[in-house]
Structure 1
Amino acid sequence: MDNARSWVRTGLLTGAALAVCVGAWILLPVEDWLRVFSRWANGFGPYGLLVFGVLFFLATLLIVPGTPLTIAGAVAYGWAVMPVILVSATLGSWLAFFAARHLFRERVRALIARKPGLKATVEAVGDGGWRLLTLMRLSPFVPFNAQNYVLGVTDVRTSAYLVSTVIGMLPGTVVCVYLGAIGRRAGGDEPTHWITLGLGLVATVVAVELTRRRVKAKLESAKMDGAKGRMGKADGTGAGA
């Protein structure tokens, strides 16, 4: 019963996220914003893609959401922007990961320590192997760029982190570039769009559910350890007794 409720809750969250995206497109002058950005980007001539790559790299480091920027870049440059995004995002993600692990480790740990839920999530993903890590990177419910810093203080190996980063960003990047390149008529009745979108939703549901279960197990384990420690102190069998 609890398992069924969990899946229903996850499905509702997925639907809500999609509804917000569709509503924003309909209610806000998104198309006008994209046209303005396209004119600005193309104003750099042959250096436009290079400038966009630097901009995307900085956005990754500054934890700026990459989805709007990806769509805007595709509106401006079409599919040619995709390799630029992948390279810039990978480099930015690696630098953020490196900085968190070697420069800001204590600061990031202190931030995580103040949030028990986030701490349990980090522990669950940190020792879950590259498969779970990749699923986590696929999920839009966890900010991709924020993960770069958080994962830097876990036990995740750099090689596994880079592999999961590239694999994790591919589906979302393909969908966003597709939407930007086709514009308002993206998708329509074309099966490729719906298949890609469907696979992304499935990966999201699986990632959220697997991570939720591991986090719950971590929290329950921590509670049991805390209870045993208190009992040990009470009866004099604890450490140092």
Structure 2
Amino acid sequence: MAAAVAGIAAAWYLLPVDAWFRAFGAWAGGLGILGPVAFGAIFFLATLLVIPCTPLTLAGAVAFGWWAMPVVLVSATAASLLAFAAGRTLLRDRVQSVISRRPALKATAEAVGDGDWRLLILMRLSPFVPFNAQNYALGITDVGLGAFLVSTVIGMLPGTVLCIYLGVIGRAAGQDSPEHWLSLGLGLIATVAAIVLTRRRVRAKLKARGAYAGA
């Protein structure tokens, strides 16, 4: 997490990120009515390929303002559902093979899958848990389609609103705003709560399997 934050900060100050965003906005705006369609298609593919979409969301806000929000939500939700279905069907064996080699990861997946809707929403809200990767991993759990869809939409809203907000009003104002720090604080609380709840369930499952040792 520390390395990721340092990397993002370094990239922001050392690279012409603002110019890139504005160039993307000019390109998308030049497409006319096809601009939002092209942006939605790019966002859809990025979600499927487990590519971090925060830069895309910011770029979309620069290009389309608050109109980027419905495009992001629809594209990300559709891609998440497809990834969830793939994890449950076509890619199930591949995902399971990766997790089955690590007892702790397997127990974690089962803990989330067996958990109630509160734990699932906390995991989806956390900005420090790879959101797009969860789409595939949750496919092998017992999470129902309805719970997955609801938690996906709720989990995306805070981060999406924040990114659109920053893109619309500008980087300097966004970084110093109370809304920015409030969102990060709530995300951190959700992360800690998810870690605590999941760790308890993981411990219980590992103990039941005789695979848990130590604190």
TM-score by length of 1: 0.80
Give how far 1:178 is off.
1.2
Listed one character per residue, the Cα deviations across residues 76-120 of structure 1 (whole Å, up to 9, x for unaligned) are 111110011011111110111112212222222112212333212
Q: Which amino acid in 2 is paired with 1:125?
A: V
Question: How far apart, in 1, do the equivalents of 2:99 and 2:211 lie?
Answer: 21
Matched, 1:217 2:215: no
Give, as a single letter, the amino acid of the residue that structure 2 aligns with 1:178. Answer: Y
How far the C-alpha of 1:205 sits from its partner, in A, is 2.3
CA distance in 2, matches of 1:49, 1:199: 30
Match of 1:154 in 2: 141
Q: Residues of 1 paired with 2:175 and 2:81: CA distance?
A: 36
Identity %: 65
| Aligned 8 A contact 1:94 1:148 in 2 | yes
Unaligned runs of 5+ in 2: none
Return the offset for 1:224.
6.1
**Root-mean-square deviation (Å):** 2.2
CA deviation profile, 1:203-222 (whole Å, cap 9, x unmatched)? 22222332233223322332
Deviation at 1:16, TM superposition (A): 6.2
Counterpart selection for 1:109 from 96, 102, 110: 96
After superposing the two structures, state which structure 1 stretch, 63-72 or 99-108, moved more.
99-108
Q: Which residue of 2 aligns with 1:34?
A: 21
Matched, 1:82 2:76: no
Q: CA deviation at 1:36?
A: 2.1
TM-score, length basis structure 2: 0.89
1:200 and 1:19 mapped to 2: Cα distance? Answer: 18
How many angstroms apart in 1 are the aligned matches of 2:10 and 2:190? 23
Q: Aligned letter for 1:152?
A: G
Residue 33 to residue 212, structure 1, CA distance change in 2 (3 Å): farther
For 2:14 and 2:107, locate their aligned partners in 1 and report how far apart those are by CA, in whole Å: 37
Residue 127 of structure 1: aligned partner? 114
Secondary structure at the counterpart of residue 186 of structure 1:
helix
Change (3 A) 1:141 1:221: farther
Structure 1 Cα separation of the partners of residues 194 and 3 of structure 2: 17
1:73–1:81 CA contact under 8 A, matched in 2 = yes
Give the 3-state SS of the residue equivalent to 2:166 in structure 1: helix
